[in-house]
Amino acid sequence: MRNFKPLVFLFPLALMLSGCGNSKVDIISADGAKTVSLRVEIADNPAERARGLMERTELKPDTGMLFVFKEPEILSFWMKNTVIPLEIIFFDQEGLFVNSAVMQPCINDPCPRYASQALTMYAIEAPPGFREKNGIGVGSKLDLEGVRKIARPI
């Protein structure tokens, strides 16, 4: 029984970690013919949201970070302490594509800001070129049912 006690503490930890890095979101093409999946980390607390993908030296293809907000707003992102370029893709409260921008690492203060062009509730940071490579644009839609299963708005 003595060897069993450490396992009691490790089991909940293993359960918590098993979901890390395995969340995915789907983006559906305007005509509904194509669905693109992206493995995402979830920025679901203020500290994770502020940190984003800072100080990462790489971002694997088809991976990124999902940001979910409580209310529609004009969102603005910056690249302070981010050493790799990223693409930001904005979606409105219905999950419809709003706009995107390729964000470059910030070299000098003040850092440029990259904003949504309309009220937005969802943002995805992905490798540069992800949107174009996958045909994401006007009419494309984020699968909100899937998003609600993996993330909560903050």
Give the C-alpha separation, 7 to 9, whole Å: 5
Is residue 8 pLDDT above 60, yes or no?
A: no
CA 116 to chain centroid, in Å, comes to 15
Retrieve residue 9's tokens. 């503490």
For residue 100, CA distances in Å to 20, 68, 73, 90 come to 26, 16, 15, 6
For residue 148, CA distances in Å to 66, 101, 111 come to 12, 25, 32
Average pLDDT over residues 106-125: 96
Give the C-alpha separation, 67 to 51, whole Å: 12
For the chain, which domains are there? 22-150 (2.60.120.1140)
pTM over 0.85: no
Confidence of residue 154 (pLDDT cuts 50, 70, 90): low
Q: Is 95 left (phi over 0), alpha (psi -120 to 50) or beta?
A: left
- pLDDT value of residue 2: 54
- pLDDT value of residue 139: 97
| Cα–Cα nearest to 124, from 137, 112, 142 | 142
Tell which wins on pLDDT, 137 or 52.
137
Tell which wins on pLDDT, 75 or 5.
75
Give the C-alpha separation, 82 to 133, whole Å: 23
Assess contact for 88 and 103: CB atoms under 8 A: yes
